[in-house]
A and B are shown apart, each in its own frame.
Chain A
């Protein structure tokens, strides 16, 4: 009797793993296909797509696609631009949004509730629908930089960074998280004579680890994967980010092997980074995701 239940239990366990693994295959196969194809010549790549060979490192494998792709587009420049734009935006976003949320949650001031409602209302405006008015706006916007006074933000880093710093979602995440922090702590520091800036820096932010991680991850994904906005505001190669670089591969005859190599170059580092940190990654999103 005991042996039978044991077997039954073992079988069910195996079935569970089979189901889990089948689903895992569904989520992985396009990415496996991408990496494998990046090593194959075009003819073989296209022939392989109709069979299981598409996912296997078989046939005539080489790094030719990587060589050709990097001679077609300045990959280094594009990656540098993406990393710069993403990094700067994420940092400034964490700063501006956490400061605002701090003020909304812990401070009482005139106009607070109205401003917060306006910010939350922007959550239902898809970016694509304001892209063109924003384009008209930034094309006329003044700027004072090292070169002096200028009009127009097109073809710059700032046009890819500044409009993306503050957003409703990031502020919302911080607000939700701050609401659960003990208010006594803040009032006590206040009684002891700490300034608001000190409370923000020394009391609140050190407790905000999970929400900082979540906000940073979500912003990183949005920024690194930018497509439409840089497409319309950046015409100069020097300032282009990685996703726009894809455009280069669709001229005249499409070189699929090179595309796969390019996709692999821009995707795999992010995936690897994610897989190394996946525990913290998912745990932080889960911990800040839902509050009533």
Chain B
């Protein structure tokens, strides 16, 4: 197809250069710079010269292992139990602090534990906060991507009816997209507060049975609250993308389905859904990317707390790189996130490829 008419190296480069040059300078170069920094001990302000430390930052972030701890026994060999009948275990720190028998656990801390028989299996990591941020980010993506995608599709189907005034509803559903996530996060802090509206509503509907809670202050509900708000804010955008997909499906297909006597579900299953394939791929990829970048909500609403239950990978990258001036550590987190997003998008592309 390379016709002579359209071949021009000079014009081609000249037209592409402003856009490509800016992207190279302000995205590609900083990205490789981050990669380089992650191999050093660079700090924002430091009296010592920068040194090359190889993979040490990555080792500090990623080191994790499982420690098996046997319960304590007395002189006779019987298990020691406390007043409640629970087994007593030696403290984790006896293994991880200055213990020459276990150099591989030096400096690690407990993340969580489970029991296998009488043995306690303790997961220890050098950087527990980072692992929590990884877990939180993945949990956020795993919940938000499918739920937001599905709700957006539901809204798109709802709004795709021919009803008087439907445009007004469509406009309202899209409205939160126009508002800054910083503003939205601030507003929702009120709704989630202990004396806030959400508690009043739940209490009213449960006839006072529901006791108010501080949604963002409780480690069991904080991340869930942020998920709900994030979906609320962005679902309208994906509704519009679904809507555009719906409108590309030919009306004759629906007529045919109705002549054949297809039920509503059958029509959706065999006409609508196959027609939305490309849209589905796009929506899934876009939501996943956005979910991995979760930052502003955390920064405004919880600062990663309580007890690191809402901290995310991007939040950690910024917090360390800028807040704690640990530029090399923050950069290593950025690189890990990039590799994670890259592999997930490759997997998604593979799973959704045209067969």
A88 sits at the interface (CB 8 A): no
Interface of A is mostly: helix
List the B side residues contacting A278 at CB < 8 Å.
167, 170-171, 174
Least CB distance from B231 to A in Å reads 11
A1 sits at the interface (CB 8 A): no
User: In whole angstroms, what is the CA distance A56 to B175 when docked?
Assistant: 20
Which of B9, B14, B18, B22 is most buried by chain A, counting CB atoms within 10 A of its CB?
A: B22
Interface residue tally of chain B, by bracket?
A: 35 or more
User: In whole angstroms, what is the CA distance A222 to B239 when docked?
Assistant: 19
Asked, given contacts A27-B172, A109-B13, A270-B178, whether A19 binds B158 with beta carbons under 8 Å apart, the answer is yes
User: In whole angstroms, what is the CA distance A224 to B177 when docked?
Assistant: 13
User: In whole angstroms, what is the CA distance A122 to B25 when docked?
Assistant: 12
Q: Which of B108-164 contact A (CB under 8 A)?
A: 155, 158, 161, 163
Least CB distance from A22 to B in Å reads 11
User: Is B178 a contact of A20 with CB atoms below 8 Å?
Assistant: no
Asked, given contacts A100-B19, A107-B8, whether A282 binds B188 with beta carbons under 8 Å apart, the answer is no
User: In whole angstroms, what is the CA distance A106 to B15 when docked?
Assistant: 11
Least CB distance from A284 to B in Å reads 10
User: Is B11 a contact of A107 with CB atoms below 8 Å?
Assistant: yes
List the B side residues contacting A102 at CB < 8 Å.
15
Least CB distance from A9 to B in Å reads 13
Q: Which of A163-180 contact B (CB under 8 A)?
A: 163-168, 171
List the A side residues contacting B20 at CB < 8 Å.
100, 115, 118-119, 166
Asked, given contacts A30-B191, A200-B15, A271-B175, whether A128 binds B318 with beta carbons under 8 Å apart, the answer is yes
B296 sits at the interface (CB 8 A): yes
Q: Contact partner of B158 among A20, A54, A125, A162, CB < 8 A?
A: A20
The 8 closest A-B pairs by CB, nearest first: A109-B12, A100-B19, A286-B244, A103-B15, A129-B334, A126-B293, A225-B180, A166-B22
User: Could you name 17 residue pairs across A and B whose Cβ atoms are closer than 8 Å?
Assistant: A27-B176, A27-B232, A50-B197, A110-B9, A119-B19, A122-B27, A126-B292, A126-B293, A127-B293, A129-B334, A129-B338, A132-B317, A137-B26, A137-B29, A166-B22, A190-B6, A278-B171
